[in-house]
Chain A
Amino acid sequence: MSNIVEAKSLRKNYGNFTALDGVDLTIPRGAICGLIGPNGAGKTTTLKALIGLCDVEGELSVAGRDPRIARHKLMEDVCFIADVGILPKWLKVSHVIDYVEAVHPRFDRKKAEKFLSTTDIPANKRIKNLSKGMVTQLHLALVMAIEVQLLVLDEPTLGLDIIYRKEFYDRLLNDFYDGNRTIIISTHQVEEIETLLSHLVFINKGKIVLDSSMSDLPDIYTEVLVDADKVAQADAVGPIYVRELLGKKSYTFEAVPREQLEVLGELHTPSVADLFVAKLKEEKHG
Chain B
Amino acid sequence: MDKFAILQFYGLIKREVLEHRNLFIGAPAVVALLLLVATTWAVTQVDESQLAEGLRYVSVLFDGLSPFDMAPFFMLLAVPFYLTLYVCSVIYLINTLYQDRKEMSVLFWQSMPVSNLQTVLSKIVTIVLVAPIFYVLIIFAMYLIAMVWLTILGISNDVDLVGIGYMFLAAIASLVLIYISAFVTSLWLLPSVGWLLLFSAFAKKTPLLWAGGVFILVGFLEDFIFGTQFLANWVASRTSDPNQYLIFEFQSIFERIFNYDTLFGIVVGGILIVGAVFMRRFTD
Contact = CB atoms under 8 A, between A and B. Distances in A.
Contacts of A73: 113
A236 interface: no
Interface stretch (B13-21, B70-78, B146-154, B205-213): B13-21
Contacts, number: 80
A88 B8 CA distance: 18
Contact of A71 (B11, B103, B110): B110
Task: Decide if the interface of chain B is mainly helix, strand, loop or mixed.
Answer: helix
A86 B108 CA distance: 6
Interface string A231-249: 0000000000000000000
Contacts of B19: 88, 90-91
Given A73-B113, A80-B107, A88-B105, A55 B282 contact: yes
B239 interface: no
A108 B108 CA distance: 18
A95 B16 CA distance: 12
Given A87-B105, A98-B14, A103-B8, A53 B113 contact: no
Report which residue of B11, B108, B281 has the largest number of chain A beta carbons within 10 angstroms of its beta carbon.
B108
Given A89-B103, A91-B18, A99-B14, A72 B115 contact: yes
B245 to A, nearest CB: 31
A64 to B, nearest CB: 15
B241 interface: no
A105 B114 CA distance: 11
Contacts of A51: 110-111
Interface in A99-117: 99-105
Interface in A115-146: none
A277 interface: no
Report which residue of B12, B19, B111, B112 has the largest number of chain A beta carbons within 10 angstroms of its beta carbon.
B111
Contact-residue size bin, chain B (C-beta under 8 Å from the other chain): 20 to 34
B237 to A, nearest CB: 39
B15 A99 contact: yes
A79 B112 CA distance: 8
Contacts of A90: 18-19
B104 interface: yes
A79 B113 contact: no
Interface in B16-38: 18-19
Nearest to A127: B105
5 contacts: A52-B110, A82-B111, A91-B18, A91-B19, A105-B4
Interface of A: 48, 51-55, 71-76, 79-83, 85-91, 95, 98-105
